[in-house]
Structure 1
Amino acid sequence: MNDNPQSLPHPSPLRLAVFDCDGTLVDSQYSIIASMHAAFEHHGFDIPEPEAVRRVVGLPLEVAIRHLAPHIDEAFSVEVSETYKSAFFQLRQAGGVQEPMFAGISGVLDQLDAAGWLMAVATGKSHRGLMATLNHHNIYDRFVTHQTADRAHGKPHPDMMHKAMNATGANREDTIMIGDTTFDIEMAKNAGVRSIGVSWGYHKPQELHDAGAACVVSSADELAAALFALAEQDG
């Protein structure tokens, strides 16, 4: 029997990778833009440019709408958000929702799972919308906790990060956020968590660097390597 505690194996730390959804796991811009245009047209607003809509993806829906239509108040933004949700639901019912998963993402999830990581989602989507998206790609059960803006404070507030860590028991130093917008990076920073930006989403790589991302990757292979490299830094 070995009585030297220093020679005993230490348990591996609990690693948690928290993924944004829109712009990180799936490319949902087409459906989001179509639904936002339908909502704005219904209420007689000027139709926002597609780039303007992409810029607000990830924010809570009412906040995103007020960014696009700053002349309306908070109460009316709630009404517009309900119109948006109805338009999105109708689009989904008609089979018109386009949310393809980005290339290589499934492989990243496989690698993390094989390495014993826990995975979570933190998104500006509603829980119903997130379930529909992840179930469409058969990946809902890959994530042990699903944090959504209708059940927590939205980005960049750290609430969803805190809830994900509390749900899994992961420490801040063993948690990494992966996202495509400055809202994701700022949420992680506000929670004291490191983050990785992805360049295939809706904000520019330099913006993600400037917001505080540890690095910005341009492919799924780079993402997996970056996650493992950041974990190695902590031993």
Structure 2
Amino acid sequence: MSGDLRLILFDVDGTLADSESDIVQCMQEAFEVYERKPAKRDILSIVGLSLPEAVAQLAPDLHPESRDTVVELYKDAYYRARVTKGAGHSPLYPGAAEVLAELNAVPEYLLGVATGKSQRGLDALIETHQLRCFVTRQCADHHPSKPHPSMVQRAMADTGVTPANTVMIGDTSFDIDMGHAAGVHTIAVDWGFHPADQLGADHIIDSFADLAPLLQHIWKD
């Protein structure tokens, strides 16, 4: 591998963090005000979108002001769950911390995140799990919702890395479509919220142990 910098971008929910139960519980709680209970499968299908877009897809018939209410109730519920559970809230998937440390030790690698989480939620997760390795942190507060390529484009601009030397790793169609739109390599993980074999990613991994060898293969020159 040459000395050119490589940018490795991770989605968070469903890719690094196992937040399924927290997201489902808080979203169902938020909809209780309108006596609704969206199904788990429907909630997981919109994870990765920015929160207003996610709620709009779950309840397109609700008045926009009512959807705004659901958004705020979800934020409140998620914050309470995070405070109550502490380190037990949205735990990292097995092997995530280890692979981040391994990749961060490679001089040519720069790590970042591109997530539909809010800045507050992302900062809290990073602090909880002591993830000090990310040099660029792109979140929903500052970008259009995935699959718009803005997050990836900004991360590349921040780091000066080209699309050919950038990879987007995620678990949903929104992550992979965002990566394609930005012209970067894409890797789907098969433990997340969308079926990996249906995402059209350039590569699929079955565990974090597969990631470092795959990156070496992608950038073997």
**TM-score, length basis structure 2:** 0.94
User: Would the alpha carbon gap of residues 196 and 88 (structure 1) be closer, same or farther in structure 2, given more than 3 Å must change?
Assistant: same
Query: Is the partner of 2:192 in helix, strand or coil?
Result: coil
| Structure with larger RCO (C-alpha < 8 A, sep 6+) | 2
**Which residues in structure 2 correspond to 1:123-202 (within 5 Å)?**
123-139=115-131, 141-202=132-193
Letter in 2 for 1:91: A
1:77 alignment counterpart: 67
Letter in 2 for 1:145: T
Q: Percent identity?
A: 41
**Partners of 1:123 and 1:41 in 2: how far apart?**
26
Query: Is the partner of 1:94 in helix, strand or coil?
Result: helix
Number of matched pairs: 219
2:79 alignment counterpart: 89
User: Would the alpha carbon gap of residues 193 and 40 (structure 1) be closer, same or farther in structure 2, given more than 3 Å must change?
Assistant: same
Please tell me whether the aligned partners of residues 152 and 159 of structure 1 are also in contact (alpha carbons under 8 angstroms): yes
Structure 1: give runs of 5+ residues left out of the alignment: 1-9
Please tell me whether the aligned partners of residues 57 and 202 of structure 1 are also in contact (alpha carbons under 8 angstroms): yes
**Which residues in structure 2 correspond to 1:112-127 (within 5 Å)?**
112-116=103-107, 117-127=109-119
Work out whether 1:18 is the aligned partner of 2:18.
Answer: no
Letter in 2 for 1:226: L
Work out which of the residue numbers 206, 214, 221 in structure 2 matches 1:226. Answer: 214
Work out which of the residue numbers 207, 210, 228 in structure 1 matches 2:198. Answer: 207
Query: Is the partner of 2:142 in helix, strand or coil?
Result: coil
**Partners of 1:164 and 1:16 in 2: how far apart?**
8
Q: CA deviation at 1:151?
A: 1.1
Cα deviation code 1:65-114 (max 9, x no counterpart): 11111212444322211111011112222227631111111221122112
1:5 alignment counterpart: none
Q: CA deviation at 1:11?
A: 6.1
User: Would the alpha carbon gap of residues 93 and 105 (structure 1) be closer, same or farther in structure 2, given more than 3 Å must change?
Assistant: closer
Q: Which stretch shifts more, 13-22 or 47-56?
A: 47-56
Please tell me whether the aligned partners of residues 147 and 174 of structure 2 are also in contact (alpha carbons under 8 angstroms): yes
Letter in 1 for 2:61: H
**Partners of 2:49 and 2:42 in 1: how far apart?**
13
Query: Is the partner of 1:150 in helix, strand or coil?
Result: helix
Letter in 2 for 1:86: D
Letter in 1 for 2:127: N
**Partners of 2:150 and 2:41 in 1: how far apart?**
27
2:54 alignment counterpart: 64
